[in-house]
Each structure stands twice: as C-alpha cells, then as structure tokens.
C-alpha cells in the first residue's frame, strides 16, 4: 500500500511539473515579464494575465489596487479612524499578491525590508503584510503597463498600455496612495491566454 501511495505521489508530481511547464510557455508566449517579479511563478503570472486582460481597463494603479482588494476603504466612525478591505475585489488576484508577499518576506528581498520597516513603525504583522500587498499591487500594475507599452511599440497585437512605465520589480518604491472610491470596478476580463496546445507541441516548447 505504501509503494502504491508513493507511485501515486510521483505521478501527481510529474503532472504538476508538466502543467507548470505549460503555464510558463503560455506566459512567455504572451510576452509577459511578470515572472521577473520575485515570488511570481508561472501559475501566478498566468492567473494575473487571465484575470486582468487589458490593463488599460484600469485608469491608474489606485483603481487596480481597488480591484485587487489591496486598497482599503474608509470605514471611520466618530473618533475612530480605520479602513476596511473592499468586498468587491477579485479574490483570486488578492490571493496571488498574498502568496508573493509571503515569499518575499521569507527571503532577503526589498519586500522583506519594507515589511520590517512597517513593523518598526508600529504596524501589526497583519497591517504590515497588507501594506506590502498594496505595494506589490503597484509593482504588478507597473509591470503589466510596461509589457503592454513594449508590445505596442513592437507593433504586435496586444492589450493597450500607457507610455512612460518602468519595469522595476522591487517592492520598495514610491508610497502608494489609498483609493477610497466605491465606484464600480471593471468587470471580468476577456480571455488573453491562448487555448491549451496539444501535448506534443507544448512539451516541445517547454524543452526548447
């Protein structure tokens, strides 16, 4: 029975590696540099591209942060000054940013340094984590805009973008603004990743 369980685990592991290779190929085929961000793997990059679609749907990084659920909404009452997270956010994207934040905190990165600075400033671990996720939302948005602008300059068919974007992937950047707007967020994105390719072609690309 133990031998059978081990065989099953080996088979599942091989399947996961194959899926990861397919996702990586699809992301790279999309000319995305999201995986340059520390902590963003093929699955996170593919999820981001699939859910975001055309980054031009978002007027700025603050609207993008509202959509990712990393921009707190004002929930102050009387003398209490506090914020709450948007319940209308994209929970899948919020989870992607949460995973990236945890990975950066566990390694010697600018994200960890930023997180520790927030702790030193009196933030609780949860508050510091939320601050880091907000910063990472800006990083992801900036990377998406840069990729879109580069694709436009190359004359390829791709999503719209804005000029003047940089490809910095560090979490330590300009202080993000808090968007407390309750305006409707963009709806679901149109599919941007191509349908799954036949196994032979996929493996050929992943091993190239």
For the segment 171-202, what is each residue's pLDDT rounded down to a tens digit?
Answer: 544 444 434 444 455 555 655 555 555 544 44
Give yes or no for residue 203 having a pLDDT over 50.
no
Is 147 domain-assigned? yes
- At 67-82, the pLDDT tens digits run 999 987 665 566 665 6
- At 157-170, the pLDDT tens digits run 444 444 433 434 44
pLDDT computed for residue 161 by the predictor: 41
Look over the chain and give the mean of its residue pLDDT values, rounded to a whole number: 79
Residue with tokens 């997180």: 115
Is 74 domain-assigned? yes
Domains contained in the chain, number: 1
Are 182 and 73 contacting, i.e. CB atoms less than 8 angstroms apart?
yes
Considering the entire predicted model, what is its pTM? 0.69
Is 22 domain-assigned? no
Q: Which residues pair with 83 in a beta bridge?
A: 74
**Residue 163 token pair:** 């000029």
Is 66 domain-assigned? yes
Is 205 domain-assigned? no
Query: What are the helix (H) ranges across the chain?
Result: 2-29, 42-52, 61-68, 91-105, 110-120, 125-153, 199-207
pLDDT computed for residue 108 by the predictor: 96
- At 112-142, the pLDDT tens digits run 999 999 999 999 999 999 999 999 999 999 9
pLDDT computed for residue 30 by the predictor: 87
Is 203 domain-assigned? no
**Residue 124 token pair:** 């609780």
Are 66 and 186 contacting, i.e. CB atoms less than 8 angstroms apart?
no
Domain of residue 60 covers 31-192
HSE on the CB side for 173, CA within 13 Å?
20
Is 21 domain-assigned? no
- At 77-102, the pLDDT tens digits run 666 656 566 667 889 999 999 999 99
Is 150 domain-assigned? yes
- Greater confidence (27 vs 208) lies with 27
- End-to-end Cα spacing for the chain: 38
Are 190 and 53 contacting, i.e. CB atoms less than 8 angstroms apart?
yes
- Predicted confidence band of residue 145 (pLDDT cuts 50, 70, 90): very high
Give yes or no for residue 14 having a pLDDT over 90.
yes
């Amino acid at each position: 029975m133990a031998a059978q369980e081990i065989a099953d685990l080996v088979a599942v592991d091989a399947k996961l590696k194959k899926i990861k290779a397919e996702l990586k190929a699809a992301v790279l085929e999309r000319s995305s540099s999201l995986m340059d961000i520390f902590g963003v793997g093929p699955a996170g990059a593919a999820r981001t591209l699939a859910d975001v679609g055309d980054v031009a749907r978002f007027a700025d990084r603050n609207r993008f942060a509202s959509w990712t659920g990393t921009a707190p909404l004002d929930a102050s009452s009387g003398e209490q000054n506090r914020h709450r997270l948007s319940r209308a956010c994209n929970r899948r994207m919020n989870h992607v940013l949460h995973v990236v934040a945890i990975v950066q905190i566990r390694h010697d990165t600018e994200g960890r340094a930023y997180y520790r600075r927030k702790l030193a400033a009196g933030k609780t671990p949860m508050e510091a984590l939320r601050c880091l996720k907000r910063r990472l939302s800006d990083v992801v948005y900036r990377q998406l805009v840069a990729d879109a602008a580069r694709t436009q300059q190359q004359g390829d068919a791709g999503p719209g973008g804005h000029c003047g974007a940089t490809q910095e992937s560090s979490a330590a950047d300009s202080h993000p603004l808090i968007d407390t707007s309750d305006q409707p967020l963009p709806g679901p994105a149109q599919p941007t990743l191509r349908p799954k390719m036949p196994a032979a072609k996929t493996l050929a690309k992943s091993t190239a």
